[in-house]
Chain A
Amino acid sequence: MKLALGPLLYYWPRQSVLDFYAGLADSPVDSVYLGETVCSRRHELRLDDWFEVGHMLAAAGKEVVLSTQGLIESESDLKALRRIVRQTDFRVEANDMGAVRLLAEAGVKDWVAGPTLNIFNPHTLQLLIDTGATRWAVAPELSGATLAELRAGLAAPIETEVYAYGRLPLAHSARCFTARHFNLQKDTCEFRCLSIMDGITLRTREGEPFLTLNGVQTQSARVHNLLGDLPAVRAHSEVLRISPQGADTARVVALFRAALDGDTTPAEALAASRAWMVAEPCNGFWHGRAGVEQYVAA
């Protein structure tokens, strides 16, 4: 069972990002996804900087994957996308159908089908496998039961990656909600999301944490955490994705590794993870329920 570190969804200062990845070089993570997937205005690190981080991690024995932007709007977004598709140093995670088209056109035969491709049935997944996808990062919305059924419908298995830890990326917009909070427009946002390490919590009028504002992305306020569900999760996947958070990501990775290696029980691991989580846990999606729920199977 492999552990993957998902792309960094927040906008951190350049040195924080470099330090973060340097700190993961000797952690027990197998794959690392790099690159800006949320907002094209974020450029503390340019593509060449990401390559540098990638080479450092590859030298440390990690598999490196370059992720493409989820929402493509402009010609310059496409230009950045083409550069990622054309490079040959690292595998690519395709996060929209434009990326899939370009990968197919370039004849690339070993890429990752990203979580925003809307793959909900074996027919669509098979189509992407036939186009060159060799790993599938499952949309967090999919339940374990649906995942099992979907995999059973494939002609041949594909390496499957489940979103196992982190705030849930729930929606993308053209509008920047962080800029809106500060009464700014996206085009002149003053990069206010820079250094908000884990996004801004949106609460209900009863003070209950509900969502997280992360620029044009809306996330859950709760942390999706499948540590307690590991036996079922590993029965249906080969890779677990951990999404970076502001502090203690390496500790979370280590906890997953310990739980997978049997050094701790799933229940103990879930309890231990509370010390490192930025908010309360939830796992409803995995159980086919509202994602916000922390569901404990009877």
Chain B
Amino acid sequence: MTVRPPIELVCPAGSLPALKTAIDHGADCVYLGFKDATNARNFTGLNFDPAQMREGIAYAHARSRKVLLALNTYPQAGNWSSWTAAIDRAAEFGLDALILADPGLMAYAAKTHPGLRLHLSVQGSATSYEAINFYHERFGIQRAVLPRVLSLAQVENVIANSPVEIEVFGFGGLCVMVEGRCALSAYATGESPNCNGACSPGKHVRWEDTPQGMETRLNGILIDRFAEGERAGYPTLCKGRFEVNDETYYALEEPTSLNTLELLPELARIGIRAIKIEGRQRSPAYVTQVTKVWRAALDKLRAGPESFTVLPAWMAELNKVSEGQAHTLGAYYRPWK
């Protein structure tokens, strides 16, 4: 019987303090991005300049942990060289892997830096082993991050039919749409996750106190309206309240977070290689809390999957940092669909 390596815990590092706290609290890997449109969390005040990235890599490597670079937006003809320059810098800095979505960039990376490990980003929208194996055969990708659309049985089927390591989202903001295939933000604001690296970008957001309540708008479009005492959420457009056939409700998804802690033994059984925690846009305090809980859970799982149970204290801790203090199993759980 082959012994599987333990599941890696992949934590978000939106800043150097977040990176350090993730490493200090037990992340096996952190993922980060440059301060520009080459990554899908291109928000003001986030991400790394070259000096910070060097420092972060040194900090992680000194503790035998890995640093993954997300270059997971799609370059265009006019700005192609910014993305290839980022790949060249990554090779020079000694990052442990690149997380890419664009096939053209993968071809560039595989040819120019054949020693560099490649992961397929969730933005690549590969939901089947046929798609994942395409990237493996052509560019030698060694890991793929699955979009949050498959049930557990479907994830298992992907793993059984691909030589590529599979990473899944375990916790954090839940993208309701297939990542890399969503133009809702571009439709409302002109800026898209695919090309600009941001969904529902802050510069288009407006909060307005009105006689009807607090209103949140995205580029002028009313996303939600909150009664007195109700906490006004960020106007991410798929998590707003809208009218459909005269009924007002969260027509696409409630503001809630994905939390798969209770699925851990199943995820281990089907052979996932890594668990990703979402949230590079969140604070170091969030990273600390979430990393601590997931480290404890993965250690407990490693000690014996048969005796694994989810501690109520873990759930309480995670719910505190969840959107709307609520959580869901998302598509892993069929009835959610």
Q: Is B269 interfacial (CB 8 A cutoff)? A: no
Contacts of A19 in B (CB 8 A): none
Q: Is A35 interfacial (CB 8 A cutoff)? A: no
Of residues 76 through 110 on chain A, the ones whose CB sits less than 8 Å from some CB of chain B are 77-78, 81, 96-102, 104
Cβ–Cβ contact B130 & A98, under 8 A = yes
Known: A123-B80, A181-B245. A173 touches B107 (CB 8 A): no
Cβ–Cβ contact A97 & B104, under 8 A = no
Tell me the nearest residue of chain A to B213, going by C-beta.
A205
Q: How far is the CA of A116 from the CA of B147 in the complex (A)?
A: 15
Contacts of A200 in B (CB 8 A): 244-245
Sample of 6 more A-B contacts, CB < 8 Å, known A96-B125, A116-B125, A187-B337: A98-B131, A120-B195, A121-B80, A141-B192, A173-B178, A175-B252
Shortest distance from the beta carbon of A107 to any chain B beta carbon, whole Å: 15
Cβ–Cβ contact A123 & B248, under 8 A = no
Shortest distance from the beta carbon of B135 to any chain A beta carbon, whole Å: 7
Known: A97-B134, A141-B194, A185-B335. A118 touches B107 (CB 8 A): no
Of residues 207 through 244 on chain B, the ones whose CB sits less than 8 Å from some CB of chain A are 219, 221-225, 238, 241-244
A–B pairs, 15, beta carbons within 8 Å: A97-B135, A98-B126, A104-B134, A121-B74, A122-B77, A128-B103, A170-B182, A171-B178, A174-B337, A201-B244, A205-B248, A208-B221, A220-B187, A289-B190, A290-B188
Contacts of A173 in B (CB 8 A): 149, 176-178, 252
Cβ–Cβ contact A172 & B331, under 8 A = no
Q: Is B183 interfacial (CB 8 A cutoff)? A: yes
Cβ–Cβ contact A171 & B182, under 8 A = yes
Q: How far is the CA of A120 from the CA of B104 in the complex (A)?
A: 10
Known: A141-B194, A177-B252. A204 touches B337 (CB 8 A): no
Cβ–Cβ contact A78 & B241, under 8 A = no
Identify which of A175, A208, A292 contacts B337 (C-beta below 8 A): A175
Number of interface residues of A (CB under 8 A): 70
Tell me the nearest residue of chain B to A180, going by C-beta.
B251
Q: How far is the CA of A285 from the CA of B335 in the complex (A)?
A: 35
Number of interface residues of B (CB under 8 A): 70
Cβ–Cβ contact A186 & B337, under 8 A = yes
Q: Interface code B312-337, partner A: CB below 8 Å = 1, 0 otherwise?
A: 00000000000000000001001111
Shortest distance from the beta carbon of B177 to any chain A beta carbon, whole Å: 4
Cβ–Cβ contact A218 & B178, under 8 A = no
Q: Is A16 interfacial (CB 8 A cutoff)? A: no
Tell me the nearest residue of chain A to B330, going by C-beta.
A174
SS of A interface (majority)? mixed
Per CB-CB distance, the 7 closest pairs between chain A and chain B, nearest first, are A123-B104, A98-B130, A174-B149, A124-B104, A101-B134, A291-B187, A120-B74
Cβ–Cβ contact A149 & B78, under 8 A = yes
Q: How far is the CA of A213 from the CA of B242 in the complex (A)?
A: 12
Q: Is A127 interfacial (CB 8 A cutoff)? A: yes
Cβ–Cβ contact A100 & B76, under 8 A = no
Cβ–Cβ contact A204 & B188, under 8 A = no
Cβ–Cβ contact B186 & A291, under 8 A = yes
Q: Interface code A42-74, partner B: CB below 8 Å = 1, 0 otherwise?
A: 000000000000000000000000000011111
Residue in B108, B128, B189 with the greatest tally of chain A CB atoms within 10 Å: B128
Q: How far is the CA of A78 from the CA of B178 in the complex (A)?
A: 18
Cβ–Cβ contact A171 & B184, under 8 A = yes
Contacts of A177 in B (CB 8 A): 251-252
Q: Is A261 interfacial (CB 8 A cutoff)? A: no
Residue in A78, A124, A181, A290 with the greatest tally of chain B CB atoms within 10 Å: A290
Q: How far is the CA of A153 from the CA of B128 in the complex (A)?
A: 31
Contacts of A234 in B (CB 8 A): none
Identify which of B76, B104, B225, B331 contacts A174 (C-beta below 8 A): B331
Shortest distance from the beta carbon of A178 to any chain B beta carbon, whole Å: 10
Known: A73-B149, A73-B150, A290-B188. A149 touches B130 (CB 8 A): no
Q: How far is the CA of A197 from the CA of B118 in the complex (A)?
A: 44
Q: How far is the CA of A291 from the CA of B194 in the complex (A)?
A: 15
Cβ–Cβ contact B331 & A218, under 8 A = no
Identify which of A116, A175, A285 contacts B331 (C-beta below 8 A): A175
Tell me the nearest residue of chain B to A186, going by C-beta.
B337
Q: How far is the CA of A17 from the CA of B76 in the complex (A)?
A: 38
Tell me the nearest residue of chain B to A146, going by C-beta.
B76
Contacts of B176 in A (CB 8 A): 173, 175
Contacts of A78 in B (CB 8 A): 128, 130
Q: How far is the CA of A120 from the CA of B180 in the complex (A)?
A: 12
Q: Is A140 interfacial (CB 8 A cutoff)? A: yes
Cβ–Cβ contact B102 & A118, under 8 A = yes
Residue in B80, B181, B192, B238 with the greatest tally of chain A CB atoms within 10 Å: B181
Contacts of A292 in B (CB 8 A): 187-188, 221
Identify which of A73, A175, A180, A203 contacts B243 (C-beta below 8 A): A203
Known: A72-B127, A124-B102, A290-B187. A175 touches B253 (CB 8 A): yes
Cβ–Cβ contact A98 & B183, under 8 A = no
Q: Is B133 interfacial (CB 8 A cutoff)? A: yes
Contacts of A81 in B (CB 8 A): 130
Identify which of A127, A153, A174, A208 contacts B222 (C-beta below 8 A): A208
